[in-house]
Amino acid sequence: MNRFSLRALSAAVPALILSIAAPTRAAEGWTEDFDKAKETAAKDGKDLLIDFTGSDWCGWCIKLQKEVFTKDGFKSTAPKNFVLVELDFPQQKEQSKELKERNAKLQEEFGIEGFPTIVLADAKGRPYAKTGYQEGGPDAYLKHLDELRQVRIDRDAAFTKAKAAEGLEKAKLIAAALEKLDADVVTKFYKEETDEVIALDKDDSLGLKKKRDTAGKTEALNKELEALGTSGKLKEFEARIDKFIADEKLEGEEKQQMLMQRLQVYGPDRLEAADKLMDEVVAVKPDSDTATQAKAIKERIVEMKAQVEKSQKETPEEKSDAPAEKEEKEEAPTKKGK
């Protein structure tokens, strides 16, 4: 739950729908079978590009597909480094019960709460980067993927170097590689490496044990927040987040991700508060991945605010003459993708 949901904001303004119907993605080059994809990646020495998408309802998913995934430049270049995996959570498209359950399990495993989310992982399925929609078309997106892929290359180089080291020096090399990954990813997918660092760094001079302990507390917090949100105790929800940040002395991207949790209780009537929250998130660490996401969300919020203002200025006659599709809403599924 270190990521965040935009369900309330996504449904706030009908004008944000980018398309009513999604074009069909060519099956060639993509697979829905995650286990088979890992086997192929291991055999061919490639990474995994996993697209968590809502192909027939999510406007930004559709936009990413139209502008990037269907373009020849992407289709010819991306498969050189990645096995492409599509995990779809549609509202209208039929899927087998088995596929739905498998996708939901992977959504939970990878901590996906917003669409589209693109996960880059190694052949073992261990994620090392997350991204989403990016402007600029296929060339810009491929460049972006290359930059993210460098995280895995640097990670592997550090792991290889660590094999030849001993003691605290070995711990430092492993910890440096893990430092570039999200804390929740490290806790869930890099347990072996984390345990080794903690065993070698008995005084916790590198702080990895503290981070792991914080991750455990975060999991407990998430359950508490879920209960508060479900019961409508929104002020208590936000206050609990602030207290956790203060108690755990969170900094950097960990603090940003915790602040992002507030979006879960920000509906269409709190666009101004959401706008200010994004500024607060960015200010913590402007060059982080979470800051990039916050900037993109802020742009979307600005669009929403403008649309709301325009709607408020319209006369009843103008509203009644509006095209029918303006009344449709982009509804996000639940966390399980149902």
Mean pLDDT of all residues in 211-233: 88
Same-domain check for residues 11 and 143: yes
pLDDT tens, position by position, 277-314: 999 999 999 999 899 989 999 999 999 989 888 888 77
Same-domain check for residues 151 and 13: yes
At 317, the pLDDT band (50, 70, 90 cuts) reads low
Q: Is residue 186 part of a domain?
A: no
What is the three-class DSSP state of 134? Answer: coil
| pLDDT at site 331 | 34
Q: How far is CA 14 from CA 132, 151, 298, 334, in A?
A: 21, 38, 17, 19
Q: Is residue 231 part of a domain?
A: yes
Q: Which runs of consecutive H residues, i.e. helices, occur in 26-136?
A: 34-44, 59-64, 72-77, 97-110
Asked if residue 265 has pLDDT above 70, the reply is yes
| pLDDT at site 333 | 36
Asked if residue 24 has pLDDT above 50, the reply is no
Q: Is residue 179 part of a domain?
A: no
Give ∠ CA 160-164-167 in degrees, rounded to 5: 115
Mean pLDDT of all residues in 58-74: 95
Same-domain check for residues 28 and 145: yes
Q: Is residue 180 part of a domain?
A: no
Provide the CATH number for the domain around residue 62. 3.40.30.10
Asked if residue 13 has pLDDT above 60, the reply is no
Asked if residue 41 has pLDDT above 90, the reply is yes
Strand pairing report for 117-121 and 47-53: antiparallel
How many domains, the chain?
Answer: 2
Same-domain check for residues 160 and 254: no
Structure tokens at 72: 């020849």
Same-domain check for residues 127 and 11: yes
- Range 193-219 burial, b when 16+ CB lie within 10 A, else e: bbebbbebbeeeebebbebbebbeebe
Mean pLDDT of all residues in 43-69: 96
pLDDT tens, position by position, 89-124: 999 989 999 999 999 999 999 989 889 999 999 999
Strands, E, within 230-283: which ranges? none
Same-domain check for residues 30 and 150: yes
- pTM value > 0.75: no
Same-domain check for residues 14 and 154: yes
Strand partners, 87: 52
pLDDT tens, position by position, 181-214: 887 899 899 999 999 999 999 999 998 898 888 8
Same-domain check for residues 321 and 235: yes
Structure tokens at 296: 């993109």
| pLDDT at site 316 | 63
Q: Is residue 36 part of a domain?
A: yes
If one compares 42 and 293, the residue with the highest pLDDT of the two is 42
Same-domain check for residues 156 and 239: no
Checking phi first, is residue 125 left (phi over 0); if not, alpha (psi -120 to 50) or beta? left
At 12, the pLDDT band (50, 70, 90 cuts) reads very low
pLDDT tens, position by position, 126-179: 999 999 999 999 999 999 999 999 999 999 999 999 999 999 999 999 999 998
| pLDDT at site 21 | 39
Question: Rounded to the nearest 10 degrees, how much is the dihedral formed by the CA atoms of 78, 116, 298, 226?
Answer: -140
Q: Which runs of consecutive H residues, i.e. helices, occur in 79-207?
A: 97-110, 137-163, 167-179, 183-189, 191-200
| pLDDT at site 75 | 96
Same-domain check for residues 275 and 133: no
| pLDDT at site 321 | 54
Q: Which of 141, 164, 187 is the last residue of a domain?
A: 164
At 319, the pLDDT band (50, 70, 90 cuts) reads low
Whole-number Å distance between alpha carbons of 149 and 162: 20
| pLDDT at site 1 | 36
Q: Is residue 100 part of a domain?
A: yes
- Domain of 264 in residue numbering reads as 219-327
Same-domain check for residues 127 and 248: no
At 320, the pLDDT band (50, 70, 90 cuts) reads low
Same-domain check for residues 267 and 122: no
Q: Is residue 27 part of a domain?
A: yes
Among 1, 8, 87, 2, smallest CA distance to 264 is for 8
